[in-house]
Amino acid sequence: MSKTTVSRLVKELIEEKYLIEVGEGQSKKSGGRKPVLTALNNSGRYVIGVDLGVTNTIIAVANINGEILKKIRKPTIRNHNIGGVVSYISNLVEQITEQAGIEKSLIKGIGVAIGGVIERETGIVRFSSNFSWKNVYLKKLLEEKTGLYTLIDNCTRVMALGLVWHQKGISEKNFFFINAGFGIGSSLVIDGSIYDIHSEFGHIPITYENVLCQCGKKGCLEAIASGNAIERKANQLYNTKNSWLTAKNVAERAKNNEQLAKIVYNEAGGYLGKGISIVANIFNPKKIIIGGGVSQAGDILLKPVMESFSKYTMDIIKEDIEINISPLGMDGGIYGAITMILNERIFNISIFNKDIPAF
């Protein structure tokens, strides 16, 4: 690319507010004009990320560097009717744009993370057991409602993308990511790219117990180790009637040494560790990272996970595998959603790959 072409492109990017001039560099020894130094314009363009969960929704606006400027967390509407959810998200977009004091014309798009089988190219939610949706063209509906370009993808893949982009101490390029939230999902990251084939770690058969999963099968890992399963089991053991214990409530009780709560997390963590051992024995990844709301229980979850993992994994394999809680915490989905739309609309970096080598 010639110097003239580069200069023209840089000038256009400055005019379109993607870049700003930050000073002058040193001229060459042979003389000539000093080069103009440029940087990304943090106030030139923005993106919005949405982490649409069953119980809570997080929406955030970020600058071109992926830095969150404003974030809102609200309970997801209880009626999961598609029209109601689309209106709910649209209203949140208007709220956060106004609160951040940003012109809507400067927003390049919306990235949405949602649980289920998602076609990222078309924005169709093929199936979401959490929302009881089938073949919902969510991208089109949101674009019509908000007037903004929208990108949709599976929440677990999006969370893994957030880890790859933001690092946060994750230097390993090959890892298996587990999203332990209301449900359980998974994503493979190989050589720094998201393996772009849908997987359902939460629906591997893990027990012969007659426990019905939301997918319609029995004995799935998700049916016995997810946040939903933890809540169901805890409320049954505590015999709650006029209140409802959340997975977070149960974790707090377990940390306070309440035996019933510890039983619930020991069982869930044990099954999760057994499921992880299957992944380890097959793929032998360098690192396994657990994210999602349930992971915030910390050692209450991780201790039984590690005990079970150690029990069921071959010695020569488990010696080299590191299991950690995601450093992004509850913001994994929102960081990933922001990253996804930035990559699509601004940087155009290849981050999904179907043709990548094995571990």
The token duo for 257 is: 């040494």
**Above 90 in pLDDT, residue 195?**
no
pLDDT at 241: 86
Whether the CA torsion 233, 239, 240, 241 is positive or negative: it is: positive
Nearest Cα to 267, choosing from 293, 294, 301, 309? Answer: 301
- According to DSSP, the residues that pair with 315 across neighbouring strands are none
Annotate 221-272 with three-state secondary structure: CHHHHCHHHHHHHHHHHHCCCCCCCCHHHHHHHHHCCCHHHHHHHHHHHHHH
**Above 60 in pLDDT, residue 219?**
yes
Residue 323: HSE in the Cβ half-sphere, 13 Å Cα cutoff: 26
Rounded to 10°, the helix 82-100/138-146 angle is 50
The side-by-side arrangement of strands in the sheet containing 352-353 is: 322-325, 287-291, 175-180, 184-190, 193-195, 352-353
Out of 206-215, 277-286, 350-359, which region has the weakest mean confidence (pLDDT)? 350-359
Indicate the pLDDT class of residue 359, thresholds 50, 70 and 90. very low
Separation of alpha carbons 194 and 236, rounded Å = 38
Nearest Cα to 266, choosing from 251, 249, 246? Answer: 251
Separation of alpha carbons 187 and 156, rounded Å = 6
C-beta contacts of 170-175 below 8 A and 24+ residues apart: 170/287, 170/289, 170/327, 172/286, 172/287, 172/322, 174/285, 174/286, 174/287, 174/359, 175/285, 175/286, 175/287, 175/288, 175/289
pLDDT at 166: 79
Q: Which residues contact 201 (CB under 8 A, 6 or more apart)?
A: 178, 184, 185, 186, 221, 275, 279
Q: pTM for the full model? A: 0.85
Is 171 buried (19+), middle (13-18) or exposed (0-12) by CB count in 10 A? exposed
Mind listing the domains of the chain with CATH numbers? Answer: 3-40 (no CATH), 46-160+332-353 (3.30.420.40), 172-326 (3.30.420.40)
pLDDT at 351: 67
Nearest Cα to 51, choosing from 67, 71, 69, 65? Answer: 71
pLDDT at 229: 96
pLDDT at 13: 62
Residue with the larger pLDDT of the pair 6 and 158: 158
Is 250 buried (19+), middle (13-18) or exposed (0-12) by CB count in 10 A? buried
pLDDT per residue as tens digits for the range 101-148: 999 999 999 999 999 899 988 999 999 988 989 999 999 999 999 999
Q: Which amino acid is at 68?
A: I
